[in-house]
Amino acid sequence: MSSNFKDFLKAFSANHDQPELPASGSVEKSEIYTETYKPVQSVRRGQSIIQNDMIVHGSIETKSDLQVDGMVDGNITSEGKIVVNGIVSGFVSGLSVSISAKELNAGVKARENVTIGQGTTINGNVSAGNVTVGGVVNGNICATGEIVIRSSAVITGDLKTASIEVSRGAVINGNVSFTKKEIQ
């Protein structure tokens, strides 16, 4: 247990008298004393965070938004948004995915948007409604909507999209094809 948490528990216990609960079975459930306390650090409701000192071995499936600041050794699947600032060694799939980690050695798929930050390297395919690339992608990119390639981007792979915007200075080593059909 970390010293910050121990200090919190000591301070909390000193400032909050605990009620004496009746013997089990002597009262209805609704009569039991309950009190809620606000968390020390607020997290947006419905969002999970893998802290920077955490390591998760195994895949993660969630319905809520997920922020990864630590390390996940496995795939991530979310019905919500995913933000990757840490390390993930597995496939990432969600509603929207934003990656500013140094490296991701797997593919990325999102129903809406994928954003790959400057300084990030993706070694895998990327598929989404819209894709914005500011880093390096070693893999194919498919977008049903638009692909935006920033000046800092380097892409080695083929692009398939309905629309593309390429900034001066960007590097594309691959073919570009345009389609109006939904890409699977």
Domain boundaries defined on the chain: 45-178
pLDDT per position in the chain (184 positions), as tens? 445 455 544 554 554 444 444 454 444 444 443 444 333 333 455 788 999 899 999 999 999 999 999 999 999 999 999 999 999 999 999 999 999 988 888 899 999 999 999 999 999 999 999 999 999 999 999 999 999 999 999 999 999 999 999 999 999 999 999 987 655 5
Q: What angle do CA 107, 111, 116 make, to 5 degrees?
A: 50
Gap between the Cα atoms of 97 and 60, Å rounded? 15
Helical (H) or strand (E) element with 12: helix 3-15
Close Cβ partners of 177 (under 8 Å, ≥ 6 residues apart): 158, 159, 160, 161
Stated pTM of the model:
0.72
3-class secondary-structure state, position 8: helix
Question: Residues 62, 64, 65, 69: is their CA dihedral positive or negative?
Answer: negative
CA 97 vs. chain centroid, Å, equals 6
